[in-house]
Structure 1
Amino acid sequence: MLLVNRLKSEFFGSGVFVHTLVSGSRNIGKGLFNSQCLTSYLGLLLLAPGLCAHENVLSELDILGAIPSARIASRIEQTTNRAPASVTVIDQELIKASGAQGWVDVFRLVPGFQAYSVNANRPGIAYHGFGEELPSRLEVMVDGRSVYMPVFSTALWDDLGVELEDVDHIEIVRGPSASSQGSNAFLGAVNIVTREPLQDHGLSTGLTWGSRGTRETRFRFNNHLGPLSYRLSLASRHNEGFPGIPASDAGKVDDGRELYQGAFRGTLTPTVVDVLDINLGFVRDRAGLGDADHPDEFIGTRFYSGYQSLEWQHTFPDGDELSAHLYHNSLRVSGSANRGLISELLGVEPALIPLLIGVEDQPFIEGLGSLASERYDFEIEHQLRINDELRGVWGVGARSEYTRSQLLLGHDNKIREEAFRGFAHGEWRPLHGWLFNAGFMIEETFVGTLVSPRLSISRLLSPDHTLRLSVSHGKRAPSIAEANLNQRIEIDGILLDPVIRSDEDLHEEKVTSTELAWSGNFPAMSLMVETSVFLEQARDTLDAYEEPLAVPALFSDEDKVQSNTGEWESKGVELQATYRPSPAALVRLHYTYRDLDSDFVRRLEPEMQLGDFNASRARHAGGLLMNFRWTPSVSTGLTVYHQSKVNWRAGNFIDEFTRVDVHISRSLRLSRYAGELCLVVQNLTEDYSEFNDENVFGSRYFLTFNLELP
């Protein structure tokens, strides 16, 4: 993988890509960025071979010589066309070339993913999701360390402690992957692989200025001390969030951010067969949280997170590998706001409050309050090759974690959970042209023993073409917070509003996935294509129904109960293709069609009522990325993304939109120093909303300057 990345970096190191859905002859832009402009740009790409005759330019075969490889699907290093599931690999060159300013921009490059801004600094990222504020069915890892936070039942994307510049590549499984990555990988899995310290040397710094009061600084220092190679990264980010909402009396919405983070990665090689990987980091973040439908209720919330990770890997003489990985994650969150006296909120005299609600008049405090989450995880893994036809991996692991939250759990005590797991996967080539992948994960959790298997059969039609049929069954245990949810608004023991609680008999969610996929590599055409047809059937999924209270609360006579009362069937088609008409040009397409049939219980009494969330997905979504490098130092690009209408479950109805971005970068040589200047303009088309109507995404401008000092 590193060889492929370095070959590509020789020419595409700061290229630019374009992203759009190809659908009819619809005008995709305004002003200069219309269909004629796009046609002209495509023409330049096709004429690129004649424009780029340069003695230092790599040939197409040099760049296209290898298909990306990944380990995330089966825990065995495999090229993506040999993996048991659909895998997308996003490398550093593509991240830089796309002009991505954050994780939402990155995951818009992946078929089947929904990526949106819940508010200005809270991303929502899910695979085949339904528009939740906190998507919970995607496993997210950084260098193999899970960053899934049990107190929120999701990953806090902006608090990962990883800068985009420190990413080497991202491995993404598009589909259920509980068989290899465990319960949280119910619908997919992501592993963000950071750059090895040996890949860079010296000091580099970066600055970004832009819309929304954006100010970002980055420092990275790479060096070595004997057998230890290390990287130290520091960064800060500031923005002012979405603009004020004219229709709101609140005016400016407090959803800005002030973030500081640091990370250390060291690679120690005490012997030629042993490697010790050390990762440490922290994040200090202050961000405004709230619901855009109530802009005056945003609350400044502080996040304090840290992690420590130690991984040892030993290589045996026969090539087998043994590894042990120990890590620790911690999170502390605090945020509250004094909304004023209860009498002021209700608009009554203070003397009437004891008569109305049975307590003395007092300040009403709102917010997350104080919550905490902590996790320890240990895993041993053995990679082995039995013969030329059979190789595999097996391992065991244990996890201990706790969660504490007065707001979410109804008390301030710690709730602790232990889980144990074992896994095994094998790749078998019994006959020429046939490849079998099989694996399973067994987890011992508080809901019982969960077994998640997967079987994949691949027909290798030729070295460049593969047809794959895979079937998997996954189970997901509720997180600590989901299983113990008891959110209530109380004052001095008086129940004002029961918000939501968990059913006492929660059990695991279940999903069965079937996929038929074809991948093709056409070296003569410089083209790679991968398409799949999928069917996902989920049952016993977590949802909430309403039930009447035996004793009504002051402001509500109903309670919400989270239970295993949901189910859905999702089916569709995904496509991704990469075309390089010349070494200086790149075209990359992806498209998703998804149909959804679902139901859930709205209420049980006095008679059962059912509902559905069939509209909570975009039926069509996709993009086309184009990149053209005019000279070894100048590249430009155009990015267009399209999504059809959707009614998010936790958001609003969002009409279809098409977004157009442009990107231009210029490499600089300043004496002994190498630099780069990059301008990104996002959304040249009409303003649109992604999740909440009130959060309007207008045109944005970002200027970035990077400098490397040897």
Structure 2
Amino acid sequence: MPSLLSRRSLLTALAGLACTHSLFAASAPAEYGEETPFFEDLPTVLSASRLPQVLNEAPGAVTLLDRHFIKATGYRDIARLLRLVPGMQIGQERGHAQWVTYHGLGSDFPTEIQVLVDGRSVYAPSAFGGVDWSSLPLTIDEIERIEVVRGTNSNAFGANAFLGVINIITQHSHQQRGGSGHVNVGNHGISDLRASWNGGADNTGVRLSAAQTQDKGFSRLNDARVSQTLSLRSDHRLNARDELTLRAGYNRLERGMGYPDSIYNNNGERTARAETNTLHLTWRRTYSHDEEWLLSLYRNHESNAESWVASSPSFPAVPLNRNRSSNRTNLEIQHRFALAPQARLVWGLEGRRDDSEAPFLFAGGRPPSVSMYRAFSNLDWHLTPTWQLNLGGLLEKNGDVAAQFIPRTFINWQASPTDTFRAGYAKAWQQRNVFDIHGDVRAHTANSDPRTSVPVAWPYVPNPDLRTPSVDTVEVGYLGRFRAMDATLDLRLFNERVTNFVIRRNIPPAFAPLVLSALPSSQFINLDSAVTLRGLEYQFRGKPRAGTEILFNHTLIERRTDEPEVAKRTAPYVASLSWLQDYGTGWTSTTSILRMGSLAGGYGYVPGCDYTSRAYTSLDLRIARAFQLDGRRAEIALNGINLGERHQEIADRSQQCLPGYLNKPVNPASSMVWLSLGIAL
């Protein structure tokens, strides 16, 4: 296969950036290390190093989705916003099932990128891991911004930040007062209600948010969902230095799963129920702009009920389930301060305990509890007015794995007030998923004793010798500002080399022959060879004229691996174009076009099926009109997603390999259109 990105093309790109730098540097003042009003327009981000940094000073590429942009899209799901971030590869196996990765590679439940809400990890420690995007105890109206660190960030947030971080930051409860209501009604049974209220006293702010999201999902699938969310945030100012923040959330979700004609009904139609709740308490002491202590304690709980019955001519009833529950308790302390006028440091300690229970998924037993301890530190040092060094390190002990040191080194060069170059190296380890190691699924007939009888199928066999994957990342980047169009260009060239990558493979059954031979035994194993992703991604964001904003993202990835099946989990290219237009007199529109290369996500219930979804183009559109209703702000909008060609995004590969679906997609995405009305109360 020809290389998508040869060394020559990379050098050409860098040469082009150098020319751009020269043009701007020629007209820049001599003291271009000093801040300028134009330069100050760059936003401050928190997630790259745990230090507040202007975007050009961050150690790596960071994409920011602010409140204005989130509202302008009109999206009903948080994960859909991430399609408009460079490097993100996202698909839906059905309406409520979001497959979210950075640079692909993910399994059925991707765990390569850390997801945080106000610094709290929302990873589900039970069974499969990953993030259930449909059951987050959070409403989309609460979000102030989303920061996406594109690239390894484990030195700041630990092993799950293997390829990056998504940090969802909610609004402070003091930011506004009053209430709001929102209604969506559309095809495919769309019927949503959202409401929020902000109030409190001078030193105490309270925000209460509630939402119900309901639809029937993709056509011709068991895909209906009803999600109910209740969320609370309260910020209390104790004195001039101290503030307490309480966050609490609850979500209840019912959704359709499975297919009516899977092998032996091993992925049969059923209704899955999930409940998620969280309690998060934060104490913040601020001495000055340069010094702050932060103490954070949270507890997450999730429970899932999902059961059905498999059958065959030999055994009419084989009960199956994926019932599971988990608790995560996490305590963290962090201190940031100025070492000198040119240097800032943040350090911290964190401890966590995960407890899970899923009897069927672990052969009637219980997986071991996992305790994690970490110490981290990041240094931001301005060596000169134009050269900046970022050094980070994290020491982590996770379960029975030996303690691991995770380093990162970045250097940023502010070549002019409008041009910044950066380069860095980072290493990271990925936290092993408890199901990958201890998962032990044995199917028995309804009347048999699972302790003594031979299983009719043994689809998952544990592998206690599974090694920890690691990644070495080298990257070069550029961030430029262009005054004429009020524009920014953020470019990242990367080389990510993953060793001990985990895949699922068929193995000889422990009992042969198994009665349900079409469901082979499998095990998670490490690849002996490395997986390397090398490529280029960039984002151009500009305002060519008043009222117009353009956002263009483009990613090219060359995949190098001895396993063709692994290479197909990463799309070779992704591109998106978003156009936001304010026409005046209250009329606005947002148009987003996405082009996704061919992609095979996950592995399905039955391993060994080789299927890749074809490249596709999708179109999302929103037209809105703001007006006054009885003296209150209101907005009505017509929204549509998947309006382009009929396409498939992610397939359940074992289902797609059935003879009846060899020439057609089993789960094409459906166009959804809805009318929304929002009112400030």
Query: Structure 1-normalised TM-score?
Result: 0.83
Cα shift at 1:198: 1.5
Cα shift at 1:84: 0.7
Which position in structure 2 is the counterpart of 1:288? 256
Choose which of 599, 605, 609 in structure 2 pairs with 1:646.
599
What SS does the corresponding residue of 1:297 show, helix, strand or coil?
coil
Which position in structure 2 is the counterpart of 1:434? 387
Q: Is the aligned partner of 1:573 residue 2:527?
A: no
Cα shift at 1:414: 5.4
Cα shift at 1:210: 1.4
Number of equivalences: 613
Q: Is the aligned partner of 1:561 residue 2:523?
A: yes
Q: State how far apart, in whole Å, the 2-side matches of 1:438 and 1:663 are.
A: 43
Q: Which moved more, 1:691-700 or 1:456-465?
A: 691-700
Q: State how far apart, in whole Å, the 2-side matches of 1:259 and 1:318 are.
A: 41
What SS does the corresponding residue of 1:183 show, helix, strand or coil?
coil
Q: State how far apart, in whole Å, the 1-side matches of 2:289 and 2:80 are.
A: 43
Q: State how far apart, in whole Å, the 2-side matches of 1:395 and 1:401 are.
A: 20
Which position in structure 2 is the counterpart of 1:50? none
Spell out the pairing of 1:131-170 with structure 2 (5 A cutoff): 132-151=107-126, 152-170=128-146
Deviations 1:541-587 (A, max 9, x none): 21223322353132239532212226300011001011102231101
Aligned 8 A contact 2:137 2:278 in 1: no
What SS does the corresponding residue of 2:443 show, helix, strand or coil?
strand
Cα shift at 1:627: 1.4
Deviations 1:449-483 (A, max 9, x none): 01111000111101221111110000122132322
Aligned 8 A contact 1:137 1:185 in 2: yes
| Letter of the structure 2 residue corresponding to residue 374 of structure 1 | N
Q: Is the aligned partner of 1:525 residue 2:496?
A: no
Q: State how far apart, in whole Å, the 1-side matches of 2:291 and 2:486 are.
A: 35
Cα shift at 1:347: 3.5
Cα shift at 1:612: 4.3
Cα shift at 1:628: 1.4
Which position in structure 2 is the counterpart of 1:257? 225
What SS does the corresponding residue of 1:108 show, helix, strand or coil?
helix
Which position in structure 2 is the counterpart of 1:687? 646
Choose which of 334, 346, 350 in structure 1 pairs with 2:312.
346
Choose which of 596, 601, 609 in structure 1 pairs with 2:559.
596
Deviations 1:470-500 (A, max 9, x none): 1000012213232211122123232111112
Which position in structure 1 is the counterpart of 2:669? 697
Which position in structure 2 is the counterpart of 1:549? 509
Q: State how far apart, in whole Å, the 1-side matches of 2:68 and 2:493 are.
A: 29
Aligned 8 A contact 1:379 1:398 in 2: yes
Which position in structure 2 is the counterpart of 1:183? 159
Q: State how far apart, in whole Å, the 2-side matches of 1:374 and 1:170 are.
A: 25
Spell out the pairing of 1:485-524 with structure 2 (5 A cutoff): 485-491=439-445, 492-493=449-450, 494-524=454-484
Deviations 1:512-535 (A, max 9, x none): 000000110112331110111100
Cα shift at 1:301: 0.8
Choose which of 611, 615, 619 in structure 1 pairs with 2:572.
619
Q: Which sections of structure 1, spanning at least 5 residues, go unmatched?
A: 1-60, 245-252, 340-344, 354-361, 601-610
| Letter of the structure 1 residue corresponding to residue 258 of structure 2 | G
Cα shift at 1:371: 1.0
Which has the larger strand fraction?
1
**How has the CA–CA distance of structure 1 residues 413 and 617 changed in structure 2, closer, same or farther, with 3 Å as cutoff?**
closer
| Letter of the structure 2 residue corresponding to residue 480 of structure 1 | V
What SS does the corresponding residue of 1:165 show, helix, strand or coil?
helix
Which position in structure 1 is the counterpart of 2:18? none
Q: Which moved more, 1:267-276 or 1:474-483?
A: 474-483
Q: State how far apart, in whole Å, the 1-side matches of 2:44 and 2:269 are.
A: 43
Choose which of 419, 425, 444 in structure 2 pairs with 1:465.
419
What SS does the corresponding residue of 2:590 show, helix, strand or coil?
strand
Higher relative contact order (CA closer than 8 Å, sequence separation 6+): 1
What SS does the corresponding residue of 1:502 show, helix, strand or coil?
coil
Which position in structure 2 is the counterpart of 1:79? 54
Deviations 1:50-78 (A, max 9, x none): xxxxxxxxxxx999951122111111111
Aligned 8 A contact 2:104 2:571 in 1: no
What SS does the corresponding residue of 1:549 show, helix, strand or coil?
coil
Deviations 1:326-360 (A, max 9, x none): 00000111121245xxxxx4336xxxx6xxxxxxx
Deviations 1:140-195 (A, max 9, x none): 01011100001221011111111211110001111111111101111111110011
Q: Which sections of structure 2, spanning at least 5 residues, go unmatched?
A: 1-35, 605-610, 652-664
Choose which of 88, 92, 109 in structure 2 pairs with 1:113.
88
Deviations 1:19-50 (A, max 9, x none): xxxxxxxxxxxxxxxxxxxxxxxxxxxxxxxx
Aligned 8 A contact 2:436 2:463 in 1: no
What SS does the corresponding residue of 1:687 show, helix, strand or coil?
coil
What SS does the corresponding residue of 1:646 show, helix, strand or coil?
coil
Q: State how far apart, in whole Å, the 1-side matches of 2:520 and 2:198 are.
A: 58
Q: State how far apart, in whole Å, the 2-side matches of 1:593 and 1:292 are.
A: 38
Moved over 3 A (4+): 61-65, 291-296, 345-348
Q: Which moved more, 1:582-591 or 1:140-149?
A: 582-591
Q: Is the aligned partner of 1:277 residue 2:245?
A: yes
Q: State how far apart, in whole Å, the 1-side matches of 2:149 and 2:101 are.
A: 12
Which position in structure 2 is the counterpart of 1:474? 428
Aligned 8 A contact 2:319 2:444 in 1: no
- Taking only the aligned residue pairs, the percentage that are identical comes to 24
Aligned 8 A contact 1:255 1:298 in 2: no
Cα shift at 1:615: 2.5
Q: State how far apart, in whole Å, the 1-side matches of 2:40 and 2:583 are.
A: 23
Cα shift at 1:101: 2.6
Choose which of 393, 398, 408 in structure 1 pairs with 2:351.
398
Which position in structure 2 is the counterpart of 1:587? 550
Q: Which moved more, 1:476-485 or 1:658-667?
A: 476-485
**How has the CA–CA distance of structure 1 residues 559 and 205 changed in structure 2, closer, same or farther, with 3 Å as cutoff?**
same
Query: Structure 2-normalised TM-score?
Result: 0.87
Cα shift at 1:684: 3.1
Q: State how far apart, in whole Å, the 2-side matches of 1:558 and 1:264 are.
A: 46
Which position in structure 1 is the counterpart of 2:14? none
Aligned 8 A contact 2:507 2:520 in 1: yes
Aligned 8 A contact 2:261 2:268 in 1: no
Q: Which moved more, 1:612-621 or 1:528-537?
A: 612-621
**How has the CA–CA distance of structure 1 residues 165 and 216 changed in structure 2, closer, same or farther, with 3 Å as cutoff?**
same
Which position in structure 1 is the counterpart of 2:6? none
Which position in structure 1 is the counterpart of 2:196? 220
Q: Which moved more, 1:586-595 or 1:694-703?
A: 694-703
Cα shift at 1:384: 0.6
Q: State how far apart, in whole Å, the 2-side matches of 1:550 and 1:663 are.
A: 55
Aligned 8 A contact 1:447 1:507 in 2: no
**How has the CA–CA distance of structure 1 residues 366 and 433 changed in structure 2, closer, same or farther, with 3 Å as cutoff?**
same
Which position in structure 1 is the counterpart of 2:235? 267
Aligned 8 A contact 1:274 1:312 in 2: yes
Deviations 1:240-284 (A, max 9, x none): 12111xxxxxxxx32211111100000000101111110001111
Which position in structure 1 is the counterpart of 2:660? none
Deviations 1:582-607 (A, max 9, x none): 2311011110001111235xxxxxxx
| Letter of the structure 1 residue corresponding to residue 504 of structure 2 | A
Aligned 8 A contact 1:119 1:292 in 2: no
**How has the CA–CA distance of structure 1 residues 448 and 498 changed in structure 2, closer, same or farther, with 3 Å as cutoff?**
same
**How has the CA–CA distance of structure 1 residues 364 and 63 changed in structure 2, closer, same or farther, with 3 Å as cutoff?**
farther
Q: State how far apart, in whole Å, the 1-side matches of 2:474 and 2:555 are.
A: 16
| Letter of the structure 1 residue corresponding to residue 516 of structure 2 | F
